[in-house]
Amino acid sequence: MASHQEIVKKLMKRPAVRAEVERIEREEGALLDAMLKARWAAGLTQADVAARMGTQAPAVARLERALATGKHSPSIATVRKYLDACGKKLVLKVA
């Protein structure tokens, strides 16, 4: 039986799979950049954002880390709540 890593390695050899993974990484990287810029521009720490969101600082750290690693995509509601805490609004655009 193949390990998870072996399966991932095999799948990543497929051009369509690799392209989709790279697309997701670019989009989530851009989202993380925008979220971090909003937090920094507001002069807030993770603990400040967490308090405004009604959660704990480790939850905000996990959210930012999840986007950085690409292991989890937050819901739109969570992103909206984070940005609201930073004094920003989420604007979605379909192109």
pLDDT at 52 over 70: yes
Residue with tokens 């739109």: 76
Q: Are 60 and 83 in contact, with CB atoms under 8 Å apart?
A: no
Q: Confidence class of residue 25 from pLDDT cuts 50, 70 and 90?
A: low
CA atoms within 13 Å, Cβ hemisphere of 24: 15
Distance CA 44, CA 29 (A): 20
| Gyration radius (Cα) of the chain, Å | 16
CA atoms within 13 Å, Cβ hemisphere of 82: 25
> What does pLDDT average to over the chain?
87
In this prediction, what percent of the chain has a pLDDT beyond 70? 92
- The torsion angles phi and psi of 56, rounded to 5 degrees, stand at -105, 155
E-only strand ranges, 1-95: none
- The torsion angles phi and psi of 44, rounded to 5 degrees, stand at -105, 145
The predicted pLDDT at position 7 comes to 80
pTM of the entire predicted model: 0.72
